[in-house]
Amino acid sequence: MICPCSGMPAGTDYDRCCRPALDGEIWPTTAEALMRSRYTAFVRGDENHLFRTWHAKTRPADIGLDHDTEWLSLQILDTTGGTESDETGTVHFTAKFRDHLGDQILEENSSFVRRAGRWMYLEALDS
């Protein structure tokens, strides 16, 4: 099964892509890899992964996933920084999903920071 994030590199299966991060076996080494694992967590309804990868400064008390939302696809549009040697990074992406209103597209430029050597999602930036 191809990973819900489309795989990194493209077409990589779930077991060799995001599963180790969601299972807590590894921590993603780049902001993009963390973004992909977080998208996969939304697809799979994994609130634990979303909680532990969200910076404590901006993380809500309750992740509150809508389990009726169906996540359809992720496309990474651009990344800035976020490499293994950076302390900050951004990932610009679109995610297609279906909810009670029909098919939707979420476009976000996400900010990531390193905290204790680990990439963390900080916040969505204004476009």
User: In which residue are the tokens 């779930």 written?
Assistant: 14
The answer on pLDDT for 64 being more than 90 is: no
Which numeric CATH code is attached to 14-125?
Answer: 3.10.450.50
**For residues 85 and 127, which has the higher predicted lDDT (pLDDT)?**
85
CA atoms lying within 13 Å on the CB side of residue 74: 27
Domain range list for the chain = 14-125
In this structure, what are the phi and psi dihedrals at residue 93, rounded to the nearest 5 degrees? -145, 165
DSSP 2: B
Give the pair of three-digit tokens for residue 103: 């098919």
Q: pTM for this structure?
A: 0.95
Q: Indicate the pLDDT class of residue 45, thresholds 50, 70 and 90.
A: very high
